[in-house]
Amino acid sequence: MSNMIDPLVAQIAARIRVERERRRWTLAQLAEESGVSRAMIHRIERGESSPTAAILGKLSAAFQLSVSSLFALAEGAAEAPADGGSPDGESESAGVRRLGEAVEWTDPATGYRRRQITGLEFPTEVAEIRLPAGARVPYPAAAFAFLRQVVWVLDGHLTFHEGDAVHELDAGDTIELGEPSPRVFANTSTDECRYAVILTRGTRP
User: What are the tens digits of pLDDT across the range 56-109?
Assistant: 989 988 998 878 778 777 776 544 433 444 444 444 445 777 777 767 889 999
How far is the C-alpha of 111 from the C-alpha of 130, rounded, in Å?
A: 9
Is residue 135 within 8 Å of 186, Cβ to Cβ? Answer: yes
Burial class (CB in 10 A: 0-12, 13-18, 19+), 101: exposed
Cα 6 from Cα 106, distance rounded (Å)? 11
> What average pLDDT score do residues 140-168 get?
90
Range from 19-23, 24-28, 130-134, 200-204 carrying the lowest mean pLDDT = 200-204
Model's pTM, two decimal places?
0.77
Q: Where are the domains of the chain?
A: 7-91+98-200
Q: What CATH number was assigned to the domain covering residues 7-91+98-200? A: 2.60.120.10
pLDDT above 80 (res 27): yes
Q: Rounded to 5 degrees, what are φ and ψ at 162?
A: -125, 95
Determine what percent of the chain is predicted with pLDDT higher than 70. 84
Average pLDDT over all residues of the chain: 83
